[in-house]
Structure formats: C-alpha cells, structure tokens
Structure 1
Amino acid sequence: MTALAVTNLDVFYGAAQALRGVSLSVETGKVCCLLGRNGVGKTTLLRTIIGQLKPRRGQVMLEGRDITGLKPFERAKSGIAYVPQGREIFPLLTVKENLETGFAHLPGTQRNLPPEIFELFPVLATMLGRRGGDLSGGQQQQLAIARALVMRPKVIVLDEPTEGIQPSIIKDIGRTIRFLRERGQMGILLVEQYFDFAHELADTIAVMTRGEIVVSGAAADLEAAAITRHLTI
C-alpha cells in the first residue's frame, strides 16, 4: 500500500520557486530516503507534506486520501507524525509529559504509552521524571522519535535524525528504523545528508538538487556514484 504520495508539487516563497514538480511516494513497511545537500529544498518538501506550507500546484495523498487542503493538526490527526530537525522537544516538561503530548489527536482508549517505545529506547524509561532540557542531544532525539511513535502514525517523517548525534545513538536510531520497517505498519520518510546511513536503511531513494528530484528509484538498483555526485559540492 502507498502510505504517502506527493505529486508534481510546486512551492514558492514569494516570487522564488523552492520546489519544482516534486513527486515521490512512501510505501507502508518501507523506508524512502530523501537525500540532498543543505538548501536544496528537503525541509521545504517536509513542511509541505505536514501542512505548514501550501503548494501552488500538486497534491499530497495519505493512503489514497487527498490531504492537500488539510491544516497541520488535521494531517497529524490523519496519521502523519513529524520528527523535526533540531528535535523541538519541550525543555521544561518531563520526559513523560513530552511523550504524552503525542496523545493530542488520539481517542481516549489509545492515550497510553506503547511499551515498545521503552523497548526501543530503554534509557527513556529511566528518565521519565527528568526535564527534557536536561537530556543530552542524543537522548532528546530518542525522545522526539518516541513522541512521534506515541501517535500511532501511518507515516513517520524524520528530518535528519543523525545530525549532531553521537555514533552509539545513531546505531540505536538505525535499529529503530529497521524495527519499524519490519513491523510493516507505517511508511517511513527519512531525510538525510549522509549517504552511508541512508543507503543501509533505504528501500527507495530520492535525491534533490535545486528544488527538484534528480535521481529516484529502488536503492538496490541505483549506483552509489549516481547518488553521491549530487551530495558533494
């Protein structure tokens, strides 16, 4: 099943065009990696997917439903979870309170913390009473991903989750992404700059340059050189 599909997206900031006819899809139980250097439009695409930006042209579909006109909170309620670059956890709330912010769009019967998040990130279980701002950068990243999983999403969007993170936490994040893929209940859109991390996890890869998708396809079918030449200055 196609969890998320964007088709022919054109997005502008005033008179400047940021996205040009961008199309990609994310299958349920698969990882789509979006690669590209800084400033090529990756975050603009994510902001359009989650509803923070409106496209001038094109369409965003979630499991076959057109959500192009929905507001961000409506898209979250429909099943899109976003882990932003920089994590954006609430520093004055405890870990438990940060996790519970994921309850906002859930019915009362689902307002509980799934045990799997503590299996994936056991350090969080020992820090439930600590404030989010007191955690290390890697622990905050784990918290941000766990908060998204509390929402029971159909699609999880991860914006450069390895940025500024120590190698041991990067390995934990990789294991988490593999687990979510193998469980097969959601589509995963992973935005990265680092080819090796992305290529190990990806089922499909799309590469952006100057607001356009210039390479796309199954990861197994794409040559590394065809990808990395767009990632170097």
Structure 2
Amino acid sequence: MLQVNDVDLFYGAAQALRGVSLEARAGEITCVLGRNGVGKTSLMRAVVGQQPVRRGRIALEGRDLGSSAPYRRARSGIGFVPQGREVFPLLTVRENLETGYAPLKRSERSIPAHVFELFPILKSMLGRRGGDLSGGQQQQLAIGRALVTRPKLLVLDEPTEGIQPSIIKDIGRAIRFLRGEGIAVLLVEQYLDFCRELADRVYVMDRGQIVFAGVGADLDDPSVRAHLTV
C-alpha cells in the first residue's frame, strides 16, 4: 500500500530523516517506534504531505506521490490522526466528523456506520462541542474523523498519548477491526506494550534513521529494546 524509499527530510539546515525506507501493507498494522526526537513525527508529516522531502520517493499503491499537497493525498486514500488530536473545539462532534467529507465525492458524504460501532460514545455526543470532550473522547473523535474519509492507509501519530487505559483498549480494538477490513495502518507509538499486542511489522528509529525492521515478536529482543529505553 505505502512505500517509503530512501527519504531525506530537512528543517532548514537541520536534517530530521536520513535515508528512511519502510513499507505498510494492506491488512497489516505497521508500528514505528523510537524515543522522543528521533524523527517519527517528521516521517508521518512526510507521508501525509505536510513536510516536503529533499530526496527519496513516497508512493501509495505504486503511484509516486511526489510533492502533492496533503488534500490530494487525502483524496488518494491517506487518512491522518495527528499527535495532539487537533479537533475543532468550537464545532460539534457531528461537525468535526463532517470535516472528513472534504476529500470525498458528494455521493460519498456520510458518516460510516462503523465509526459509531467502534466509538459509541460519539453517537451520544453528536451535539456537544469538540472542546468539551475529554482527551480520550477527543482521540476517538479524531480517529472517527479520519475514518469518514474512507482511507486505504490510516496514519496515527501516538494515539495513546495521555489517554486512560480503558480508551486505549477501545482504540486497539478499532485498529484491529480496520486491519480486518483490509486497511493499511501506520502507527507511531512510544507505548511498547500497545505495539507488541498489535503490530504485524515494526520499525525502530534512532537519530533520523531506521535502525531495525522486523515483525512484532521482535519487540522482545534486548537489542531492539535498547533503542527504546531512555
């Protein structure tokens, strides 16, 4: 579904990514792990088009995305749940979900039933403002909004950050459901146990590079864990 090949990314003179390559397959959960500041969020921004790359190639279903803008990538099937959720605090839950209509054809502009099946709390709060929700509820709303776009690839940047355990379990169940629907899930996380339970494929980053690539079971390897400890 997604191929990232030999990508370099800079912020001014500072290099954030160095020759990064990875892939995320349809019907699989791919986790990217690493300590703070190693380039995980920069990689996600490159994938969704928020930050241009200086060198390398990013492709979706074999089609080079080049320098295409984020809205074009959303239309091509990339859904994004950013770190910090970024819901619209003054819009209602329904209106927040409906902002996911932007990349869709008019005939497709509806909220899929599985959004409320995965996160039933959202259906009971459709008239409440996004800013009045708890952090965990906002995270569910942010994921629901991304699902409204009917993504082929769902990119999640640290969805468990600051979230209570019960909602982390709900998010995990939702991600497993999406894998079963054939969606490719690219997940950035620091919560090792969450990735261990979910990951089909894992990549570990350090200093802007991929230092390990393997399967979920490899997260118990001491040499891998050494890159994740502070």
Query: TM-score w.r.t. structure 1 length?
Result: 0.97
Q: Is the aligned partner of 1:61 residue 2:66?
A: no
2:201 corresponds to which residue?
Answer: 204
Q: Which amino acid aligns with 1:125?
A: K
CA contact (8 A) 1:195 1:228 kept: no
Q: Is the aligned partner of 1:215 residue 2:199?
A: no
Aligned counterpart in structure 1 of residue 158 of structure 2, from 150, 160, 167: 160
> Where do 5+ consecutive residues of structure 2 fail to align?
none
CA offset at residue 224 of structure 1? 3.0
CA contact (8 A) 2:219 2:225 kept: no
Cα deviation code 1:32-86 (max 9, x no counterpart): 0000011000011111111111111100000110002211111111111110000
* d(CA) in 2 for partners of 1:76, 1:227: 33
Aligned counterparts, 1:43-54, within 5 A: 43-54=41-52
> Where do 5+ consecutive residues of structure 1 fail to align?
none
* d(CA) in 1 for partners of 2:87, 2:10: 29
Q: Which amino acid aligns with 2:53?
A: P
Aligned counterpart in structure 1 of residue 221 of structure 2, from 221, 224, 228: 224
* d(CA) in 1 for partners of 2:129, 2:224: 40
Alpha-carbon distance change, 165 to 195 in structure 1, aligned in 2, over 3 angstroms: same
Residues matched between the structures, number: 230
1:39 corresponds to which residue?
Answer: 37
* d(CA) in 2 for partners of 1:100, 1:67: 26
CA contact (8 A) 1:9 1:57 kept: yes
Q: Which amino acid aligns with 2:184?
A: G
CA contact (8 A) 2:49 2:70 kept: yes
Cα deviation code 1:180-232 (max 9, x no counterpart): 11121x11000000111111100000000000000001223554323211111
Secondary structure of the corresponding residue to residue 37 of structure 2? coil
Q: Which amino acid aligns with 1:63?
A: E
2:180 corresponds to which residue?
Answer: 182
Aligned counterpart in structure 1 of residue 102 of structure 2, from 101, 104, 120: 104
Alignment RMSD, CA only? 0.9
Identical-residue share of aligned pairs (%): 65
* d(CA) in 2 for partners of 1:63, 1:226: 33
* d(CA) in 1 for partners of 2:215, 2:200: 6
CA contact (8 A) 1:10 1:19 kept: yes
